[in-house]
């Protein structure tokens, strides 16, 4: 797990870069020191520059980056390829490939040399990488199938920049006086994150998951999609489905444990992390696991996790997060995110990773299970609304009019509204912070609707049921934009590699063919992820196998009524972006929340995180405390390098 930055010039090579250009590129790399404190290298070569921050996991002594292959390729690679040993053996056998290291980075370079982009679907792992072809002047870049690892793109008149974090591209993005992408901001207030490929910076974009990028001087950027997750039910017997899940997940966990550094796991209250821990403990009996919670009744998974750890026979270390911790660290957390993410659960994740990093360098975690196996309660909505949804359109229009006549808060109104609204309009993800009407009150500008993000996803799932469509929306938005973004940033904040065994090709294949009845059985309306739970029978303790997931519950509602609420009130009242948001409206929401007349906690938190983001990245009135990077880069300078500043 590492951090990379890359520059490829759009102009003919102009000799060695001046000292200022070298310093600017190296300084940009240093903003990502937390991603790879073990080794820092910067290389300038004809027409390109490569920077790399390494967190050494595999072949720690030898496999430094950038890596070169046959005088043709220079590669920088963030992530892990779990089947690199199998690919290495195949490349040697079929192509006579030779290797100077024992790591996966050189295998990736060789795979691209011999197979080209056809290598991408064969990579089992998480990755974001850039591979520069010196023979043709072409830059290739790719991001893994589900978007576990990030990759940011900036194209300027000078050339193309890539980086693992947006902040490493800001020095090269030119005049920032009108940089804000208001459409992206509007989507943030809907989804609680900025969906791919947008960022809040108009010029900087993310490479979407499962995409391959090529760039040539004069030819610009071209993106192609090499992987698209698809949920298409197959004719499976339950026993066959369960065995397929069990076998795939067991093998994935085994592969994800491979490392030359200590490996642990995160453990919460639910079946996802418990399944990972139970299977990992079969291969690694001394597994060390970590959990977190808050000092508020009902907002801690620590006791449940400790009981699970005892039953599984693994060592557990808990972390308790206080309100003082939140106020102290929140500016650094928002700075690490690059773009605002208003998911409060990233706060305990930050402190959980901080604790784990004192003991291990790698952790396994349960992200991706809910999206693949149907774990969110909202996925049961189509079944609960079926009686209304089957009615003729004319009758549904009448019922919708009746719903509008029922006062807010009266039982039955929400059911009628949702039941008479097409799924394409009513479901756009797990968060859904501000409705379109509420955004009209909050925002001082007009932007594209949220359907600009989801319409094409529904069009691509017109032939499947509503549950599969909802999962598809989440796989393309919520999973990479929220779940995986916070997992990457909060773990990397502490130089901790987080691995996600559920997001493995074989596990995905086992989940993709499940019919809805095996995910959400009609005879048990309280169960989600039924197939996964059945697959884990006899592996996960029964007390956990049937327990509903809490998912790092965060006491945001209580915080906003106490000292954190005072801090948030001052942050919003003194906010700089008054030309973008109606501060008075936001403060009114906070006042109503603190008075107890409504629960606006999610909306207020979204506004507060944006205001803090603005204070950090735009106004500069908040300066997060950041750890120093202790070691200078090793720099290789070659003749005829580009000048890009």
Confidence check: pLDDT of 379 > 70: yes
CA distances from 505 to 66, 70, 129, 251, 368 (A): 27, 30, 19, 11, 12
Q: Say if pTM beats, i.e. exceeds, 0.85.
A: yes
Please give the structure tokens belonging to residue 531: 């197939």
Active site annotation includes 2: yes
CATH number of the domain at 140, please. Answer: 3.60.20.10
Reported as a single tens digit per residue, the pLDDT across 245-301 is 999 999 999 999 999 999 999 999 899 999 999 999 999 999 999 999 998 877 888
Confidence check: pLDDT of 362 > 70: yes
pLDDT of residue 638: 44
Confidence check: pLDDT of 645 > 60: no
Q: List the beta bridge partners of residue 264.
A: 288, 363
Reported as a single tens digit per residue, the pLDDT across 381-433 is 898 887 777 777 767 677 776 777 777 666 767 777 777 788 998 899 888 89
Length of the chain: 645
- Is 150 within the bounds of a domain? yes
Catalytic residue, chosen from 2, 56, 139, 606, is 2
Helices (H), 2-63: 19-30
- Is 25 within the bounds of a domain? yes
pLDDT of residue 353: 98
The phi and psi torsions of 166 (rounded to 5 degrees) equal -65, -35
Range of the domain at 27: 2-183+205-227
Strand (E) positions, 55-146? Answer: 67-69, 73-81, 125-133, 138-143
Angle between helices 182-191 and 601-614 (to 10 degrees): 150
Contact 145, 371 (CB under 8 A): no
pLDDT of residue 222: 96
Task: Quickly tell me which residue has 């919670």 as its tokens.
Answer: 293
Angle between helices 484-492 and 346-356 (to 10 degrees): 40
- Is 215 within the bounds of a domain? yes
Reported as a single tens digit per residue, the pLDDT across 427-463 is 998 888 999 999 999 999 999 999 999 999 999 999 9
Please give the structure tokens belonging to residue 568: 């948030």
DSSP single-letter state for residue 121: G
- Is 596 within the bounds of a domain? no
- Is 259 within the bounds of a domain? no
Give me the mean pLDDT over the 335-352 stretch: 97
Instruction: Tell which phi-psi region holds residue 612, choosing left (phi > 0), alpha (psi between -120 and 50) or beta.
Output: alpha
pLDDT of residue 607: 98
Residue 364: HSE in the Cβ half-sphere, 13 Å Cα cutoff: 33
Grade residue 639 by pLDDT with cuts at 50, 70 and 90.
Answer: very low
pLDDT of residue 224: 97
Grade residue 95 by pLDDT with cuts at 50, 70 and 90.
Answer: very high
Q: List the beta bridge partners of residue 212.
A: 142, 224
Element (H, E) at 266: strand 263-266
- Is 547 within the bounds of a domain? no
pLDDT of residue 272: 95
Pairing of strands 211-216, 362-364: unpaired
- Is 489 within the bounds of a domain? no
pLDDT of residue 295: 83
Closest CA to 581 of 188, 179, 167: 188
Closest CA to 258 of 104, 101, 99: 104
Grade residue 594 by pLDDT with cuts at 50, 70 and 90.
Answer: very high
Element (H, E) at 484: helix 484-492
pLDDT of residue 630: 53
Closest CA to 3 of 497, 447, 605, 593: 497
Reported as a single tens digit per residue, the pLDDT across 222-237 is 999 999 998 888 888 9
For the chain, the domain total comes to 1
Grade residue 59 by pLDDT with cuts at 50, 70 and 90.
Answer: confident
Give me the mean pLDDT over the 174-190 stretch: 87
- The three-class DSSP label of residue 77 is strand
- Is 174 within the bounds of a domain? yes
């Amino acid at each position: 797990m590492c951090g990379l930055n890359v520059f490829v010039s759009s102009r003919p090579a102009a000799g060695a870069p001046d000292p200022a250009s070298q310093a600017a590129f190296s300084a940009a790399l240093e903003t990502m020191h937390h991603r790879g404190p073990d080794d820092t290298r910067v290389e300038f070569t004809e027409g390109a520059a490569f920077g790399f921050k390494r967190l050494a996991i595999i072949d720690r002594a030898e496999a430094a980056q950038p890596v070169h292959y046959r005088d043709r390729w220079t590669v920088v690679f963030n992530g892990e390829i779990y089947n690199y040993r199998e690919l290495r053996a195949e490349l040697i056998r079929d192509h006579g490939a030779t290797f100077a290291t024992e790591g996966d980075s050189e295998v990736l370079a060789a795979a691209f040399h011999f197979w080209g982009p056809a290598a991408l679907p064969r990579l089992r792992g998480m990755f974001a990488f850039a591979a520069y072809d010196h023979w043709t002047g072409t830059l290739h870049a790719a991001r893994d199938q589900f978007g576990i690892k990030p990759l940011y793109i900036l194209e300027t008149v000078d050339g193309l920049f890539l980086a693992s974090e947006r902040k490493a591209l800001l020095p090269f993005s030119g005049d920032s006086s009108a940089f804000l992408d208001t459409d992206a901001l509007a989507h943030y207030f809907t989804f609680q994150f900025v969906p791919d490929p947008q960022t809040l910076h108009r010029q900087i974009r993310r490479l979407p998951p499962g995409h391959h990028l090529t760039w040539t001087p004069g030819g610009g950027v071209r993106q192609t999609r090499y992987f698209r997750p698809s949920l298409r039910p197959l004719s499976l017997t339950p026993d066959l489905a369960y065995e397929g899940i069990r076998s795939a997940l067991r093998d994935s966990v085994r592969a994800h444990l491979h490392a030359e550094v200590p490996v642990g796991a995160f453990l919460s209250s639910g079946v996802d992390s418990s399944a990972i821990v139970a299977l990992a403990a079969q291969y690694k009996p001394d597994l060390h696991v970590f959990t977190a919670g808050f000092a508020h009744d009902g907002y801690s998974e620590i006791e449940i996790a400790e009981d699970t750890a005892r039953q599984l026979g693994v060592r557990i270390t808990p972390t308790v997060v206080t309100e003082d911790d939140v106020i102290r660290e929140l500016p650094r957390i928002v700075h690490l995110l690059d773009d605002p993410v208003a998911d409060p659960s990233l706060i305990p994740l930050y402190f959980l990773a901080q604790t784990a990093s004192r003991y291990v360098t790698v952790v396994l975690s349960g992200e991706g299970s809910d999206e693949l196996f149907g774990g969110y309660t909202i996925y049961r909505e189509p079944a609960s609304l079926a009686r209304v949804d089957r009615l003729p359109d004319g009758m549904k229009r009448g019922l919708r009019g009746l719903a509008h006549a029922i006062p807010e808060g009266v039982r039955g109104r929400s059911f009628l509204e949702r039941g008479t609204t097409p799924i394409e309009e009513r479901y756009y993800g797990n968060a859904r912070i501000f409705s379109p009407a509420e955004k009209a009150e909050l925002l001082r500008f007009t932007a594209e609707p949220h359907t600009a993000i989801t319409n094409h996803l529904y069009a691509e799932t017109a032939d499947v049921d509503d549950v599969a469509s909802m999962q598809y929306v989440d796989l393309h938005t919520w999973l990479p934009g929220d779940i995986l973004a916070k997992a990457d940033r909060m773990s990397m904040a502490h130089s901790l590699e987080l691995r996600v065994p559920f997001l493995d090709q074989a596990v995905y294949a086992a989940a993709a063919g499940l019919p809805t009845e095996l995910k959400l059985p009609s005879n048990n309306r309280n169960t989600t992820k039924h197939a996964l739970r059945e697959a884990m029978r006899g592996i996960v303790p029964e007390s956990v196998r049937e327990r509903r997931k809490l998912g790092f519950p965060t006491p945001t509602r209580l915080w906003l009524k106490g000292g954190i609420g005072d801090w948030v009130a001052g942050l919003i009242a003194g906010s700089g972006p008054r030309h973008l948001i109606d501060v008075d409206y936001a403060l009114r929401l906070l006042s109503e929340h603190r008075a107890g007349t409504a629960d606006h906690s999610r909306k207020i938190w979204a506004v507060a995180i944006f205001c803090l983001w603005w204070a950090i990245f735009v106004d500069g009135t908040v300066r997060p405390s950041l750890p120093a990077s202790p070691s200078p880069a090793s720099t290789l300078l070659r003749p005829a390098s580009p000048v890009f500043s």
